């Protein structure tokens, strides 16, 4: 179904079945990050591995084309990329036989039984990093627990974000001693040195004296809620610019059509990348890798995936650039981070279009509140750093041992 919406899913399809090029194999470290969010979460860890172990060859797999593009944006040719094979025994065997990783690091909660069991059979240590396991996900896994107990028990170590995550993981059968609470790597937000300068330029192009709200990572159905709130706000803030950045590129066109039907004056960044006219009302951010700088150019940031029961997205990129962040009530994938954000006064939660409009208005009409909320967000991110160091402490023995285990030769036999 995804291939019907995004033709990129049809490209490089042999990789989905383990038919991957062996040009740089064997690899010392294989990191799997399913999509954009996981790639960004993995970025600090990958950079640290490259820094401390420059002799290691790194392979990164993703499941989605957007994840692949984000990896290219983050690392260019520093690491190699292929798509992870589907979790079929033959495909996984073929992939491992060709790539020959000495160690595997899986980001967050991608529990693929065949991958784990095939790694165990080949004596490849598997470590999970930045693991979060919501109550809902744990309940789903428990229904088919018998399929996951053995794979989970084969994992060398789990670096989990919180104590509740650890308890849920153990309840599924993970070995208690293998589960370690390290915190969230997502607090390790690394800001490019040029970000502030680029954000100032974009702010100038959008209008320094007008109010700007950026709604990032929005999903189907959320744009209607945000547009309803925008309509309410326009009565009090007639110069308000709303920047909409849909989560999935295949929705850029449908969101554009939605805004056109709403009757607003709009433009897409791909068609108008520089200065925009002062009467522009909605700007569609149909580019890749710019959301963080868009947040930095805004007065207020909205984080999507949270106004409908999707589970939310990471609010820390907005907090790290000193912008008040607003999210909906459905943050079950980021329960702890969202609660810390509220407790620290770094952002607010809103329920429905009217409440969202009221919360945005509260920030737009009070510059002091905007400033102090943004400052609280930056301080919160800084004070919660440390997960990367704890995770590296878990990984280091395996990384140090991995170089001696990396095969020097190409595979001789692979499955039919």
Report how far residue 69's alpha carbon sits from residue 229's, in angstroms, rounded to the nearest whole number: 32
Residue 205 CB partners (closer than 8 Å, separation 6+)? 274, 275, 276
Q: Which of 27, 168, 129 is nearest to 389 (CA)?
A: 129
Positive or negative CA dihedral for 345, 347, 352, 358? positive
Report how far residue 244's alpha carbon sits from residue 288's, in angstroms, rounded to the nearest whole number: 13
Phi, psi of 77 (to 5 degrees): -105, 20
User: Within 13 A of 238's CA, how many CA atoms are on the CB side?
Assistant: 1
Contact 285, 243 (CB under 8 A): yes
Catalytic residue among 38, 108, 222, 281: 38
| Token pair recorded at residue 147 | 């399929």
Phi, psi of 81 (to 5 degrees): -135, 140
Q: Which of 145, 93, 162 is nearest to 415 (CA)?
A: 93
Q: Which of 226, 224, 242, 384 is nearest to 314 (CA)?
A: 384
Q: Which of 89, 91, 72 is nearest to 80 (CA)?
A: 72
Token pair 């992939």: residue: 95
Q: Is 177 exposed, middle or buried (0-12, 13-18, 19+ CB in 10 A)?
A: exposed
Report how far residue 344's alpha carbon sits from residue 373's, in angstroms, rounded to the nearest whole number: 9
Can 150 be counted among the known catalytic residues? Answer: no
Report how far residue 76's alpha carbon sits from residue 278's, in angstroms, rounded to the nearest whole number: 36
- Which positions are catalytic? 38
């Amino acid at each position: 179904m995804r291939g019907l919406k995004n033709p990129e899913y049809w490209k490089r399809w042999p990789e989905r079945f383990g038919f991957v090029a062996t040009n740089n194999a064997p690899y010392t470290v294989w990191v799997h990050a399913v999509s954009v969010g996981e790639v960004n979460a993995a970025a600090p860890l990958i950079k640290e591995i490259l820094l401390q172990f420059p002799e290691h060859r790194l392979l990164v797999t993703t499941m989605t084309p957007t994840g692949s593009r984000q990896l290219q944006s983050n690392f260019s040719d520093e690491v190699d990329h292929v798509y992870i094979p589907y979790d079929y025994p033959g495909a996984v065997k073929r992939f491992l036989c060709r790539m020959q990783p000495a160690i595997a690091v899986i980001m967050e909660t991608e529990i693929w039984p065949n991958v784990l069991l095939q790694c165990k059979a080949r004596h490849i240590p598997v470590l999970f990093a930045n693991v979060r396991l919501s109550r809902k996900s744990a309940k789903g896994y428990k229904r088919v627990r018998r399929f996951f107990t053995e794979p989970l028990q084969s994992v060398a170590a789990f670096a989990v974000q919180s104590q509740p995550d650890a308890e849920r993981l153990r309840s599924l059968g993970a070995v208690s001693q293998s589960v370690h609470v390290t915190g969230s790597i997502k607090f390790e937000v690394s800001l490019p040195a040029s970000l502030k300068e680029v954000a100032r330029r974009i702010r100038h192009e959008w209008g320094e004296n007008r109010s700007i709200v950026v709604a990032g990572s929005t999903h189907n159905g959320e744009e209607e809620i945000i547009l309803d709130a925008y309509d309410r706000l326009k009565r009090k803030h007639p110069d308000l610019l709303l920047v909409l950045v849909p989560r999935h590129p295949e929705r850029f066109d449908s969101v554009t059509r939605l805004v056109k039907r709403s009757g607003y004056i709009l433009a897409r960044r791909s068609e108008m990348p520089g200065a925009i006219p002062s009467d522009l009302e909605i700007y569609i951010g149909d580019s890749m890798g710019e959301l963080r700088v868009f947040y930095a150019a805004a007065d207020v940031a909205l984080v999507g995936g949270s106004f409908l029961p999707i589970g939310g997205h990471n609010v820390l990129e907005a907090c790290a650039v000193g912008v008040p962040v607003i999210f909906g009530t459905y943050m079950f994938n980021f329960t702890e981070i969202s609660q810390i954000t509220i407790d620290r006064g770094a952002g607010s939660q809103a329920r429905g279009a009217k409440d969202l409009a009221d919360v945005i208005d509260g920030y737009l009409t009070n510059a002091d509140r905007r400033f102090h909320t943004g400052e609280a967000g930056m301080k919160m991110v800084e004070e919660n750093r440390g997960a990367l160091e704890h995770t590296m402490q878990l990984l280091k023995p395996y990384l140090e041992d991995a170089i001696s285990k990396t095969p020097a030769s190409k595979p001789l036999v692979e499955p039919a």
